A = this chain, B = another copy of it.
Amino acid sequence: MDVIIDVKRHSYDDLLVLEDIKIQVREGEIVAVIGPSGCGKSTLLGIAGGILKPSEGKVFLEGNAPPDCLNPLTFIFQDFALLPWRTVEQNVGLPLEHHKLSTSDRQARIADALQRTGLSDFAKALPKQLSGGMRQRVGIARALVVKPAVLLMDEPLSALDAQTRDLLMEDFLDLLLHERMAGIYITHNFQEALRLADRVVVLSRRPGRIKEVLTIPIPQLERTNKAALAPLAELGDRLWSLIRDEASVADREVIHD
């Protein structure tokens, strides 16, 4: 299933945040969106997922969702968005509760999601007992349990420390490549973009517009090879030069109130 984003304009009150954003993500493709702080990346993803209404524009889904898909457009959140009073398995089960499923089907889905995120041993733990990395695994399991067609990821690794980030990124890639989902991956980090994405959309600073779209021609699984280091480093330099100035201006903006 493909997702087609066509946002002409979005503003909060008087603040214009997004302008002329057209992105189509095909089934099996991962598109990273990168841009300076406050340029409207989260806003864009919210619009894509139908939880924000764009001032002007539309989002379409095209094609067929997997047969057992319960929630085609599914989010993974930066701050995990777990319910702290529910155990891991209750959190993962939340999106199933309002669907008519047999108990065994429900349990099978939960068990499968936990197993694929390496959480099987932690089913009864509460979020507060887990490290950040494990909490985000719960967030991922909760997304997988509904068998999504499109995965919307808002800086899913940025709240984690560097080591956990490195550890989780590989697992993440593995999951993404195994499901034939469309994925939109918001990030600040061009290393993550280079590791995961098929295409990278670079946004300008606010109001966010598409500044450039970079295609990464190397398959993800080959990117750790020695041979890929040089071209990836070059792409990285190019990305960094695209965002560096925008980022440093955005960083130095004073918020008046």
Residues of A whose CB lies within 8 Å of any CB of B are: 36-37, 122, 125, 128-131, 133-134, 158, 161-164, 166-167, 187-192, 229, 233, 240, 243-244, 247-248, 250-257
Separation of A254 and B37 alpha carbons in the complex (Å): 33
Could you tell me if A164 and B255 are in contact, using CB atoms closer than 8 angstroms? no
Could you tell me if B251 and A164 are in contact, using CB atoms closer than 8 angstroms? yes
Which of the residues B162, B190, B252, B257 comes within 8 Å of A189, measured between beta carbons? B162
Separation of A192 and B128 alpha carbons in the complex (Å): 29
Could you tell me if A256 and B129 are in contact, using CB atoms closer than 8 angstroms? yes
Could you tell me if B163 and A243 are in contact, using CB atoms closer than 8 angstroms? yes
- Beyond A167-B244, A167-B247, A244-B167, whether A252 also contacts B162 by CB under 8 A is no
Chain B residues near A240 (CB, 8 Å)?
166
Closest to A164 in B: B251
User: Nearest Cβ distance between residue A108 and chain B, in whole angstroms?
Assistant: 24
Separation of A133 and B253 alpha carbons in the complex (Å): 11
Which of the residues B129, B167, B244 comes within 8 Å of A251, measured between beta carbons? B167
Instruction: List 22 A-B pairs, Cβ < 8 Å.
Output: A37-B131, A37-B161, A125-B254, A129-B254, A129-B255, A129-B256, A129-B257, A130-B254, A130-B255, A131-B253, A134-B251, A134-B252, A161-B188, A161-B189, A162-B188, A162-B190, A163-B188, A163-B247, A163-B251, A167-B248, A167-B251, A229-B233
Separation of A257 and B161 alpha carbons in the complex (Å): 23
Closest to A119 in B: B252
Which of the residues B158, B251, B254 comes within 8 Å of A133, measured between beta carbons? B251
User: Nearest Cβ distance between residue A163 and chain B, in whole angstroms?
Assistant: 4
Chain B residues near A256 (CB, 8 Å)?
129
Could you tell me if A158 and B162 are in contact, using CB atoms closer than 8 angstroms? yes
Could you tell me if A187 and B162 are in contact, using CB atoms closer than 8 angstroms? yes
Q: What are the 3 tightest A-B residue pairs by CB atom distance, in nearest-first order?
A: A162-B189, A162-B188, A163-B247
User: Nearest Cβ distance between residue A200 and chain B, in whole angstroms?
Assistant: 14
Separation of A256 and B126 alpha carbons in the complex (Å): 10
Which of the residues B37, B125, B164 comes within 8 Å of A163, measured between beta carbons? B37
Separation of A158 and B163 alpha carbons in the complex (Å): 11
Chain B residues near A252 (CB, 8 Å)?
131, 134
Separation of A1 and B248 alpha carbons in the complex (Å): 35
Chain B residues near A36 (CB, 8 Å)?
163
